[in-house]
Structure 1
Amino acid sequence: MFTEQMVDGRGNTVVTAKRTFDRVSLPHLGNQVLRMGVAANMGLDSADIPYAAERGVNLWLYGRSFGKATVPLKALLAHEREKHVVVMLGTFVLTARGARRTVEKARRELGIDCVDLFLMPWLGCTSRFSPAIQDELVEMREEGIVRGVGTSIHDRQRAGRLAANSILDAFMLRYNAKHPGAEQDVFPHLATRDPIVISYTATSWKQLLKPLKGIDMSPWPGADTGATMPPLTAALCYRFVLNSPHVHATWTGPANREQFDENLAALEAGPLSVEEEAWVREYGKQVKAKRKRDYV
């Protein structure tokens, strides 16, 4: 295990989150979580929620389209509330009242007093960040019905500014080998306030997993010329993301239990070597050059 350090407002170096490759203590919340959280709206069955918890998952993304996860997640929280972190992702938040209604709905559905982290959805697209909404977020945090507030956001430049100076405790960002731009636009601005960073779409919506013509890559480090890559495996995509010291955790949205087990294997495999990370980064660069749809 190692610790991260940041410089406070007085220029003092302070120790923040403790982490290993597979576990991290979240700043602002203090909970230690597995660095792979589950977004249960992509195909997992109800029985897969307790199964994932048995495998160590204790970070959960919850939202409007997560219906079949509600009952098993509620049951899980009824017995082990302190062990789990619930991240609520809104759908549309355009008013202060809408923000509060979204949180209250999640509390009722899951039978909990407090949502650990409330994320404003796709800031600038399906949610606003007006002064009234900001005041409401702070008020809910002070009331204790949410422990932290954050946003999911595509606008990296804006995310960088908000990371440096805002009320937000957390950011959900697209970050993967095809789209590593957060390294320039967001990560340099994190040190001042040390917000939580949770990434998503490690596989770039499976683009990094699909064969692509015209790719010119050297063999995988240490492999024979006849190595079967590219494309990448899901585990390699997740390991690339979790190699970043700025990413606290990443979401996985497996279609079934088999995919969940395959993705979780990334944590067991551990960090990529310097050579492996460079290889994955180069492959992502080539994929982006050929598959130019930036929204994926």
Structure 2
Amino acid sequence: MKITNLAPVIQTPEFQPQLTAADELALANSRFAQSDLPFYRKLGRTNLTVSCLGLGGGGHISSEDTLYAFDQGINYFFYSSDLHQYLYSSMRPALRQLCGRGSSIREKVVLATVSYMIRTPDTVFTYLFDQFIDLGIDYIDVFFWGWIDEHNHPAFEKCISASDDIRGPSSVTQRQIERVFGVSEKMKKMGVVRYIGASFHDHDLAKQWVNSPLLDVVMVRHNVAHRTAQKKVFPHLDANDPHRPGIVTFKSAGMFGPLWEPPLGLPDNCWQPSVPDLYRYSLSQNSVDVALAGWQTREHVDAAIQAVQKGKLTSEEIDYLNLYGDLHRNRIKPHEIPTERLLVAR
């Protein structure tokens, strides 16, 4: 027998084209109805893909319902270890399961943590140490300096100047954490903190810092009755700018009172927005990526997800909710209400 070919037969795998960022978002959003309010989006200039609704622990939600939220598509979770810690503690076992060392789904979750103890950059290790112990994690996606206002702004300026010592792989803070908790592949790849954020209770300060290269994510309070962010923060951002910071809102459903309850003087048969409608209000604003929620039960999760799939509010609905918020804040008297701006119950 004549051997004519001694070259081995090599099976070449089929070519797998790499997905672009737009393709990845489209694929993620394919589980939800298409609308002008996509459920998943990039968090500003970070490379994090986030759900437009985020879950915090303010409602003392159970771990079982926290896991349920993740199963329904929520992937942004906000955790505090030093303020209202009791309220957040009930979701801790779920976050350990989702984000803890060894989790096979860790990279599908965006874990945001916060410290409200704004002092000096040197103390950040202490705050991170507590969070790594609480949650058994390898890394944090976004670490927030919390509750920035005129009282702690000088300390915040010192802390934020150390961003590059905290975020990303090979940082000073990473080496400290590794010595205590050990090194893992995910920690080496991501760093102990991937991105730095700040939560502002002073919108003038938020405006001052919103375009700082030291901040990757900015969190501001915003709702129909407290709309200062619409004047001082959101107009200074281009929603289509890939270099802008991520924007997260909180207090969507109220600050000093529940906004889902009708204000005094609202005429009968007018639309009374639900809590999910109030999330849609924030998400309908320029450049808002995530509206943070303090759900208590899985039913709250379902209602919010169903609502945002309706898309953004119309300009008429936004105008009405501005009026509704002004009534809550006593900015307008009942006899001054322009009837043409009212919307009937739906």
- TM-score, normalised to structure 2's length? 0.70
* Pair 1:273-2:314 in alignment: yes
2:73 is aligned to 56
Structure 2: state its 5+ residue gaps. 1-21, 23-35, 172-190, 333-346
* Pair 1:72-2:94 in alignment: yes
Instruction: Return the match for 1:183 from 204, 213, 230.
Output: 230
* Pair 1:196-2:246 in alignment: yes
Q: Which has the larger radius of gyration?
A: 2
1:118-267 to 2 correspondences below 5 Å: 118-124=143-149, 125=151, 128-130=154-156, 132-142=158-168, 143=171, 144-191=191-238, 193-205=243-255, 207-216=258-267, 227=269, 229-267=270-308
TM-superposition CA deviations, 1:90-110 (whole Å, max 9, x none)? 131212122222123222322
- Structure 1 stretch displaced more, 202-211 or 145-154: 202-211
Distance 1:154 1:29 in 2: 23
Amino acid at match of 1:207: P
SS in 2 for 1:164: coil
2:122 is aligned to 97
- Structure 1 stretch displaced more, 168-177 or 187-196: 187-196
| Structural RMSD (CA) | 2.3
Query: What's the offset of the Cα at 1:196?
Result: 0.9
Amino acid at match of 1:273: T
Distance 1:112 1:45 in 2: 20
Amino acid at match of 1:233: S
Query: What's the offset of the Cα at 1:214?
Result: 1.4
Distance 1:100 1:197 in 2: 25
Amino acid at match of 1:198: V
Amino acid at match of 2:198: T
Identical columns (%): 24
SS in 1 for 2:148: coil
SS in 1 for 2:41: strand
SS in 1 for 2:104: helix
Distance 1:44 1:140 in 2: 30
SS in 1 for 2:46: coil
1:14 is aligned to none
Distance 2:277 2:157 in 1: 41
Query: What's the offset of the Cα at 1:230?
Result: 4.1
Amino acid at match of 1:190: L
- Structure 1 stretch displaced more, 129-138 or 23-32: 129-138
Distance 1:180 1:127 in 2: 22
Given that 2:200 and 2:206 are in contact with CA atoms closer than 8 Å, whether structure 1 keeps it comes out as yes
Query: What's the offset of the Cα at 1:31?
Result: 1.9
TM-superposition CA deviations, 1:109-166 (whole Å, max 9, x none)? 2222221101101113467545542343321114222111111111111110111335
Distance 1:107 1:28 in 2: 26
Give the number of the structure whose residues are more often strand, by fraction.
1
Amino acid at match of 1:175: H
2:14 is aligned to none
TM-superposition CA deviations, 1:6-45 (whole Å, max 9, x none)? xxxxxxxxxxxxx843221112321222100100241211
Given that 1:95 and 1:128 are in contact with CA atoms closer than 8 Å, whether structure 2 keeps it comes out as no
Distance 1:28 1:100 in 2: 25
Amino acid at match of 1:236: D
SS in 2 for 1:209: coil
1:106 is aligned to 131
Amino acid at match of 1:117: V
Amino acid at match of 1:240: Y
Distance 2:195 2:325 in 1: 33
2:182 is aligned to none
Amino acid at match of 2:314: S
Query: What's the offset of the Cα at 1:199?
Result: 0.2
SS in 1 for 2:147: coil
Distance 2:308 2:144 in 1: 25
Amino acid at match of 1:56: G
- Structure 1 stretch displaced more, 282-291 or 98-107: 282-291
Closer/same/farther in 2, CA of residues 126 and 92 from structure 1, 3 Å limit: farther
Distance 2:51 2:281 in 1: 16
Task: Give the paired residue count.
Answer: 264
Amino acid at match of 1:74: R
1:84 is aligned to 109
Amino acid at match of 2:39: D
